């Protein structure tokens, strides 16, 4: 990219430097730590440094952009702000507005995680739950602004927001100046626009990789068509990057500064969340774990590199955590659902339970299924939920039940 092309982008590195000066208050935004992960080193064959932005005050990077925007607007006399958000931008706007002595109203989807709703209110915002997804919520928020003197704070399509998020890119570079690749989740593109602007200014040779969830992927098609593409519906556990679209402003920056964009599935994200809990001892939400899912995938090779995945958010709803853990543990065959066809006679359950116990597995619960079309009269299915240590342990239990003459299958692998 030539200097002229760079100068035509919506945000320049000088804008990010000015944002850094405004954010020089560690009660608003703190410098988050970086930790080397030897476990991830072994998985990817490189040096992995986790940028732990999920430990930011609001649990995500969003306060950087929100404060950079709001502090300037308050100086210009604005007293009230409105935003639309699935949760993290909501908290950033709420905290920034309260710090600046202003009011804020945040519109959130009806299905927004309760933890994020509660946190947003705790930072001083009024919360309105409207719309089934981010796009519908955005429409409600923009309509509400038209009837007031409030200013709308866009989650990503705003130069001040992008510049504020860019301070994170500058911080990442100074954390590990010899980094070969940084990996950044993409929702609407504001975060990666800011980070890539900073990284490419400070270290043009560093590779910037974006990550989207397959159920909310828009960047590849947008790049192919040369215009922002918006999805009618999104479907991903990574609600923080489930915007369903990018903007013209962020698309232009991604085209100029981002070297590669990969996608990851919800299963890969769930596995990354579990791995981060086990190995790094960090609780990270779906959007934040997407970067780790990317470096573990076959689509991104970081072997032999110094790589920095960004853990951009830690506002993990406990209900979602339960769902994610069940899914990931099932994938690993640490949670089994064993369906055993039996003659419905006294003592059969005791026999089956004994075989499972003899193999050191714990039974969570069991149920009878008698009203199933393929059963003969006098037959039943017993369905055990069993805790195992992994695939080898699971197979040993299945083999033992089969050797005892039972027809058994792990239906957790088929549903």
Same-domain status, 264 and 365: no
Contact assessment for residue 292 and residue 272, using Cβ atoms and an 8 Å cutoff: yes
Evaluate if residue 415 carries a pLDDT over 50. Answer: no
**Domain extent for 350:** 332-413
Contact assessment for residue 189 and residue 182, using Cβ atoms and an 8 Å cutoff: no
Same-domain status, 114 and 262: no
Contact assessment for residue 266 and residue 176, using Cβ atoms and an 8 Å cutoff: no
| Tally of domains within the chain | 3
User: CA 201, CA 372: separation in Å to the nearest integer?
Assistant: 65
Of 258, 273, 360, nearest to 321 by C-alpha is 273
User: CA 283, CA 277: separation in Å to the nearest integer?
Assistant: 6
197-224 pLDDT tens trace: 999 999 999 999 999 999 999 999 999 9
Same-domain status, 380 and 393: yes
355-381 pLDDT tens trace: 999 999 999 999 999 888 889 999 999
CA distances to 114, 221, 255 from 258, rounded to whole Å, are 34, 15, 6
Instruction: Please identify, among 152, 171, 189, the residue that sits at the C-terminal boundary of a domain.
Output: 152
Instruction: Please identify, among 311, 326, 341, the residue that sits at the C-terminal boundary of a domain.
Output: 326
Same-domain status, 138 and 225: no
Same-domain status, 186 and 307: yes
Same-domain status, 79 and 147: yes
Q: What is the CATH number of the domain that holds 365?
A: 3.30.70.260
Same-domain status, 47 and 170: yes
Averaged pLDDT of the chain: 94
| pLDDT in the model for residue 413 | 66
User: CA 276, CA 103: separation in Å to the nearest integer?
Assistant: 36
Same-domain status, 38 and 76: no
Q: How many CB atoms lie within 10 A of CB 250?
A: 29
Alpha carbon 320 to chain centroid, angstroms: 12
Same-domain status, 174 and 244: yes
Contact assessment for residue 291 and residue 211, using Cβ atoms and an 8 Å cutoff: yes
Instruction: Please identify, among 152, 181, 200, the residue that sits at the C-terminal boundary of a domain.
Output: 152
Q: Is 320 helix (H, G, I), strand (E, B) or coil?
A: helix
| pLDDT in the model for residue 414 | 54
128 phi/psi in degrees, rounded to 5: -115, 120
Same-domain status, 128 and 249: no
Bridge partners for 263 per DSSP: 212
User: CA 164, CA 17: separation in Å to the nearest integer?
Assistant: 9
Q: What is the CATH number of the domain that holds 45?
A: 3.40.50.1100
292-303 pLDDT tens trace: 999 999 999 999
pTM of the model: 0.88
Q: How many CB atoms lie within 10 A of CB 238?
A: 29
Same-domain status, 201 and 262: yes
Same-domain status, 24 and 82: no
């Amino acid at each position: 990219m030539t200097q002229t092309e760079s100068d035509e982008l919506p945000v320049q590195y000088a804008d990010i430097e000015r944002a850094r000066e405004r954010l020089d208050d560690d009660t608003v935004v703190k410098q988050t730590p970086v930790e080397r992960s030897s476990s991830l080193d072994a998985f990817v064959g490189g040096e992995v440094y986790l940028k732990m932005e999920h430990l930011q005050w609001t649990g995500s990077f969003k306060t950087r952009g929100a404060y950079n925007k709001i502090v300037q607007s308050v100086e210009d006399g604005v007293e009230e702000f409105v935003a639309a958000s699935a949760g993290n931008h909501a908290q950033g706007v709420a905290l920034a507005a309260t710090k600046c002595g202003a009011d804020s109203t945040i519109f959130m989807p009806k299905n927004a995680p309760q933890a994020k709703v509660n946190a947003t209110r705790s930072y001083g915002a009024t919360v309105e739950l409207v719309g089934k997804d981010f796009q519908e919520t955005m429409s409600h928020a923009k309509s509400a602004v038209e009837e007031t003197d409030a200013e709308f704070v866009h989650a990503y399509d705003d130069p001040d927001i992008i510049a504020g998020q860019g301070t994170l890119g500058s911080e990442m570079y100074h954390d590990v100046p010899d980094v070969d690749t940084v990996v950044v989740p993409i929702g609407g593109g504001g975060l990666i626009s800011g980070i890539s602007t900073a990284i490419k200014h400070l270290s043009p040779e560093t590779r910037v990789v974006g990550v989207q969830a397959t159920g909310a992927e828009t960047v590849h098609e947008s790049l192919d068509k040369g215009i922002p593409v918006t999805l009618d519906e999104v479907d991903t556990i990574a609600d923080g990057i489930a915007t369903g679209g990018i903007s013209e402003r962020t698309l232009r920056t991604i085209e100029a500064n981002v070297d590669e964009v990969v996608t990851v599935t919800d299963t890969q994200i769930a596995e990354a969340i579990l791995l981060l809990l086990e190995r790094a001892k960090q609780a990270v939400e779906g959007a934040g774990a997407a970067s780790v899912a990317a470096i573990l995938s076959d689509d991104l090779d970081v072997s032999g590199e110094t790589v920095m995945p960004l853990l951009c958010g830690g506002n993990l709803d406990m209900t979602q955590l339960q769902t994610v853990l069940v899914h990931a543990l099932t994938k690993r065959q640490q949670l089994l659902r064993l369906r055993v066809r039996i003659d419905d006679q006294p003592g059969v359950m005791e026999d089956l339970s004994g075989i499972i116990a003899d193999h050191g597995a714990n039974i969570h619960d069991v149920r009878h299924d008698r009203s199933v079309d393929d059963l003969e009269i006098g037959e039943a299915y017993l369905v055990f939920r069993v805790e195992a240590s992994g695939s080898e342990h699971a197979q040993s239990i299945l083999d033992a039940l089969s050797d005892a003459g039972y027809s058994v299958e792990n239906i957790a692998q088929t549903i």
